[in-house]
Structure 1
């Protein structure tokens, strides 16, 4: 049997493979996985091993890493064994992400307490942003569902009280955001926010009636709630933010509908999505478009893109096995339904949110109907083994262990909801914590790099007088060259005049996005043939308009994401441009072997440029919406897509010529997409130009003063022996402290078995 050793570090995303005690050959598939997240390649691992070993199917795998990653390897091994392989897997445990994040937090406190080193953190914008992200406790979970799925009932069950309105209608016209606060056991506070984020109303002890009234107000955009989410324990390093989104079928606010779609499409942050389906009412048109978007998103990524979508199958309590309604067959239909919408091997969790809600709701608050419902469901779930939802769930051994430790009643456990809540914790441990650990590590590493460069530069002044005189002469030449012979002014003019092309990856994506609606419209054209009754034509037009409206909003989100990614790519190019300038500036120095000159070059080259552009800096305008006028800083016009339901009749009064009807509609259909594509390209180009302007502004107002200040400071230390000796002493002490601090930081990410 072949022995395979895998050591995976999820914090720096590094994997070491040993096959029968030897490193895999360069160029083989295993080598290409070295710097990829485990979830990207784990499902292909055993097929690749079989190919590597000329068809051999016997492997003994020893995995060193965190538990959540080991469970993914074990799951892949189960699939391999089911296909005829013989795979055994064992685990060498390492410290968890949460433990490491706490260690880095303590190191961060130590760094901030050091008056000199703290300046390397506070003076670096990138490091500050990374720390804010790493130690921001909030973790987003978005609840997405169509009408009548029981979404509000599910959220109320997680809260342990009936706070959100629940009815068989599209009650959620606004976004409700609930931030967990375990200290607020008996009450919820809330704010009603308008379109610009302004507070319209607030309550320190909000009731369900107040939430219902706020939800019905047309000017309410977000209801921001704080209180205890009973089903999830707040941990030291994570706080759940549960967002109840408007349904995809909600036409009251297209922007909210687009926001819901944006949560699904967000492949950068990868937020967790609870997609709630009504077990008794599958196959509605409301789900069709959004499930298609989910399927596309899942196909684009690796295992994380699949893991972040949890399909919650609600209302399992309406089925009774004694009447031939077996839950297993219901779930088979659900899988077939999701598969027909392009979603393969979905993570499915059957639940009864209503049962969980009534268990957690104090019994003295039950209505007569709720008492009857509770007793009926308690009998069904308590007496019928097939109604224990836990047996149908793909939960890991770790989740099962955590559920056992919570001492949950068998009835509540059988409702299925606690397992969904436990899977939220599983996702956080597997994906969110490692990302945050790495961000915090990178931020401290950047500060360490800056500190070592600065102290190293000072230490390089510990030279004999003859060398110092040469250094002083070279600094004078360098300063004169920068001010006269290599003027930043001429360089700035060159950059501004020539500009720069959009990055190749951005151009490619723009082309792909432009072709997307064109392909869709061509496919629709083929469907409009022949003569049909008026009601058939009306139905087809409505379906087309719904599909095109969805595609329109999908493209808006895609262009928004492209704007952000293009900004990052352009910023990277400008940083490289800046470093090339530094290199050219030092190219004329007569003796680059002088360590001090290399130190100056490295210090100036490591400056992180402050290049950020907010969208509202690019374009502001006012638009008319109905009878009111309000500010709209969006680059697109979300009101340019107008639904038109009038159907023109051709020939007699009974039938419609679909081909003529489609020809008449085609211009009306294409125009909004053409404007959207044009506006998007223009906006991305404007964002690029704005970044170039910021770059030029930096070179004008900040580079020259910083550069001259550094050179003048070094010349002063060279000229004054006492000042130099003091600086050398202080730099030596700080340098040693930073090196020791770096060793402690590196240890936090080291992967060694416990």
Structure 2
């Protein structure tokens, strides 16, 4: 057996591999995984080991880390075993992520209480924002489905009461966001938010009837609900936000449809998606479009991109094994359907949401029909072993253990939904907590670096009077150069000369989107060849119109993602520009080669500036808010082309020339997509301009003030011995505290 040791720290994203007790060579593939999250490389691990050992496929693996990561290695080992490898696994468990997040929160509070260190957190916008995001308790789960999947029934089952309207028709016309609040018992509050982002109505104890009425109002943008979500584990550091999204086929508002699609496309935050399918009714066009989007998103990342999509196969109670309806065959059909739509190895969870709902609903509140339904389902799920849905689910040993600890009835477990709820908890432990721990750790390290730079600067004032005099001369020279200031006009002239080109990475992303659009439109044109009956032509046009609308919305969300990433790239570029300015400012100040000048340069480089384009200043949404006429369509339906009338014109003819039909519309469609490209590029460019303007404003005002404060403070300490002596004592004391604090922080994250 080849001994392999893996030590994975998901909190600082660091992995140590030991092969026969030694780290792999630098050129080895495993070495490239040292700073990557485990889920990025775990599925390739054993194939890489097989190559490394020239086909000797016997491995004795010891894993040190958190349980959720270990279970991923175990799953990869099972796949390897199916290929003929032999893998023995051993586990050394590290403290879970939630405990570490709690400890870091305690350390942060300690840091914020320190009279000197607190301003390194408070005065640095980047540090403050990172802390805010790390300790934001909200965790998003989006429920996505097409019509008649039983989505509202599923959410009601999770809530433990009938709150959302449910029927075998399109019931969700707007976005309902439900925030968990365990202190509210059985009561739910709600607010109706309109398209202008104002609260139009509210209720302290909302009912199904009120929500149904609000849902039908055309100006409702979102309904915010708060109350206890019974099914999810209570945690101090997590607050579940369950969002019921409108299906793409039944939204009252185009922006709602775009929002639903954006949840799926969000590969930055990676929110958990419950994709609900009707087990007895697969294969609608809406599913095809939406599943294509899911498949595309899943291909973009590692294991997390797959784990964040949970396919809930609802309405399993409609099948009766005694009538020859075999559940394994049903699930095989579902899996085949998903694979045909580009989703490979999907996580499939069969459930009967209605059974779960009726179990959780007090029996004295059941209607006559519900009593009959419950009696039938309870008898079938209790007496027919194959109706135990839990046994068909890809759940980990940890999830099984968590379900056992809940001491649920066999009937409840058989309904399947509790396992889905346990998988939500698993995802939080596996991805959300480690991400938040790392964000908090990185923010704390940044504050520590700024603090140490400042204390080291002051500590180096412990010099003789002659040296201090020389330092003072250098500082005066620095001040003289700084008085010239950041030449805003020169910077503007430089931009004008060099052009306002977008960053290379942004241009590459935009080019990829434009190429993919052109490629897609070419594939559509291929479907318009030959002559067909008018009825077929009408169907073809309708089908393509829906696909084009979907593609258009997908492109809008993709451009919004490019906008966000471009903002970060531009901010990084401007930060580099700022550092170059600092280096240039100090380059003639190194005559004495004094360490204090290096520390002074670092401290000046740490001066915080926060470049952010606020949502009210530039929104990529502008690409879809305008209104212009395309044929007789509006901006939100640029592909309707008057298609129905056109097809009917051929109603008395025997055939329709599809190529001619498409040719007459292709130019208009190309124009619509081209307009979107131009609008998106303009918004991204406007965002860059605003960031540059903010940077120039900072250099013209804030930097000068902060830099002068730093210089004045130094000069006072150099000219007044008593002030200097006190500052040195305080700096050394603070430096000792920071070093002790960092040791505690590192210990908190050690594996």
Give TM class, smaller chain. over 0.9
Q: CA deviation at 1:491?
A: 5.2
- Residue equivalent to 2:310: 310
Structure 1 residue 661 and structure 2 residue 661: aligned? yes
Which consecutive unaligned segments of at least 5 residues does structure 1 have?
A: 628-635
User: What's the TM-score, normalizing by structure 2?
Assistant: 0.96
Q: Contact 1:152–1:164 (CA<8 Å) still a contact in 2?
A: yes
Q: Residue 693 of structure 1 corresponds to which residue in structure 2?
A: 693
Q: Which moved more, 1:528-537 or 1:68-77?
A: 528-537
Is 2:642 aligned against 1:644? yes
- Equivalent residue runs for 1:60-209 within 5 Å: 60-209=60-209
1:565 deviates by 0.2
Q: Is the 8 A contact 1:537 1:647 kept in 2?
A: no
Counterpart check, 1:283 vs 2:283: yes
**Structure 2 match to 1:55:** 55
Aligned ranges 1:150-549 → 2 under 5 Å: 150-484=150-484, 488-489=487-488, 492-497=491-496, 498=498, 500-549=500-549
- Report the equivalent of 1:630: none
- Which shows bigger deviation, 130-139 or 369-378? 130-139
CA distance in 2, matches of 1:616, 1:144: 29
| Match in the other structure for 1:18 | 18
* Matched residues, number: 742
**C-alpha separation between the residues in 2 aligned to 1:29 and 1:621?**
43
2-structure distance, mates of 1:105, 1:321 = 52
- Structure 2: runs of 5+ lacking an equivalent: none
| Equivalent residues of 2:641, 2:665 under 8 A apart | no
Note if contact 2:456-2:731 (Cα within 8 Å) is conserved in structure 1.
yes
Task: Give the drift of 1:2.
Answer: 0.1
Call closer, same or farther: CA 1:349–1:621 in 2, change over 3 Å. closer
C-alpha change, 1:623 and 1:235, in structure 2 (3 Å) is: closer
Q: Tell me what 2:716 maps to.
A: 716
- 8 Å CA contact 2:61–2:90 kept in 1: the answer is yes
Q: CA separation of 1:43/1:300 partners in 2, compared to 1, >3 Å: closer, same or farther? A: same
Alignment partners' CA distance in 1, 2:118 and 2:592: 31
**Greater alpha carbon shift after TM alignment, 409-418 vs 639-648:** 639-648
| C-alpha contact 1:234 1:240 (8 A) present in aligned 2 | no
In the TM superposition, residue 671 of structure 1 has moved relative to its aligned partner by: 1.3
Pairwise CA distance, 1:482:
2.1
The separation in 2 between residues aligned to 1:658 and 1:336, in whole angstroms, is: 32
1:604 corresponds to: 604
Give the conservation status (yes or no) of the 8 Å contact 1:6–1:16: yes
Change (3 A) 1:623 1:573: closer
Q: What is the CA–CA distance in structure 1 between the aligned matches of 2:312 and 2:264, rounded to whole Å?
A: 15
Q: 1:572 to 1:341 in 2, by over 3 A?
A: same
Residues of 1 paired with 2:502 and 2:138: CA distance?
34
The 1-side partners of 2:591 and 2:684 are apart by: 44
1:490-546, Cα deviation, whole Å (9 max, x unpaired): 653455444553221111111110112211111111111122111111111111110
CA drift of 1:618 comes to 3.5
**Residues 456 and 341 of structure 1: is their aligned pair in 2 closer, same or farther, counting only changes over 3 Å?**
same
- CA deviations on 1:440-471 (whole Å, 9 max, x unpaired) are 11111111111111111111111111110110
* Structure 1 range deviating more: 222-231 or 607-616: 607-616
Find the aligned partners of 1:641 and 1:582 in 2 and give their Cα distance: 53
CA distance in 2 between partners of 1:411 and 1:123 (Å):
56
Shift of 1:623: 6.7
The 1:745/1:651 distance shift into structure 2, 3 A limit, reads: closer
Shift of 1:33: 0.7
Shift of 1:58: 0.3
> Could you give the per-residue CA deviations for residues 336-377 of structure 1, whole angstroms, max 9, x where no partner exists?
000000000000000000000000001111000000000000
CA distance 1:608–1:663, change in 2 (3 Å): same
* Equivalent in the alignment of 2:745: 745
Give me the whole-angstrom Cα distance separating, in 1, the residues matched to 2:331 and 2:95. Answer: 37
Q: CA deviation at 1:621?
A: 11
Take 1:449 and 1:667, find their aligned partners in 2: how far apart are those partners?
57
Say if 1:625 and 1:524 are closer, same or farther in 2 by CA, change over 3 A.
Answer: closer
Q: State the 1:251 CA deviation.
A: 4.4
Equivalent pair of 2:556/2:623 in contact (CA under 8 Å):
no
1:576-615 aligned within 5 A: 576-591=576-591, 593-615=593-615
Contact 1:381 1:411 in 2 (8 A): yes
Measure the CA separation in 2 of the matches of 1:314 and 1:329. 15
Does the CA-based 8 Å contact 1:139-1:239 persist in structure 2?
A: yes
Structure 1's 499 and 475: CA in aligned 2 closer, same or farther, altered over 3 A?
farther
Separation of aligned partners in 1, 2:598 and 2:184: 57
Q: Root-mean-square deviation (CA), in Å? A: 1.8
Instruction: Judge which range, 62-71 or 662-671, deviates more.
Output: 662-671
**1:624–1:124 CA distance, 2 compared to 1 (3 A):** closer
Give the drift of 1:608.
3.3
Q: Secondary structure at the match of 1:463?
A: coil
d(CA) in 2 for partners of 1:338 and 1:596?
64
Per the alignment, do residues 682 and 316 of structure 1 end up closer, same or farther by CA in structure 2, a change over 3 Å counting?
Answer: same
* Cα distance in 2 between the residues matched to 1:494 and 1:429: 51
Distance in 2 of aligned mates of 1:140 and 1:623? 26
- CA deviation digits over 1:125-175, x for unaligned, max 9? 111111111111110000000100000000000011100000111111110
CA contact (8 A) 2:8 2:16 kept: yes
Match of 2:707 in 1: 707
SS at 2:243 equivalent: strand
- Counterpart secondary structure, 1:243: strand
Deviates more, 1:373-382 or 1:497-506: 497-506
8 Å Cα contact 2:319-2:325 kept in structure 1? yes
CA distance in 2, matches of 1:602, 1:491: 25
Q: 264-273 or 638-647, which moves further after superposition?
A: 638-647
Contact 1:496 1:692 in 2 (8 A): no
- 1:625/1:509 Cα in 2 relative to 1: closer, same or farther (>3 Å)? closer
Q: Helix, strand or coil for the counterpart of 2:120?
A: helix
Q: Measure the CA separation in 2 of the matches of 1:114 and 1:642.
A: 64
Native 8 Å contact 2:233 2:425 kept in 1: no
Checking the alignment, whether the CA contact within 8 Å between 2:349 and 2:420 is kept in structure 1 is yes
Partner SS for 2:299: helix
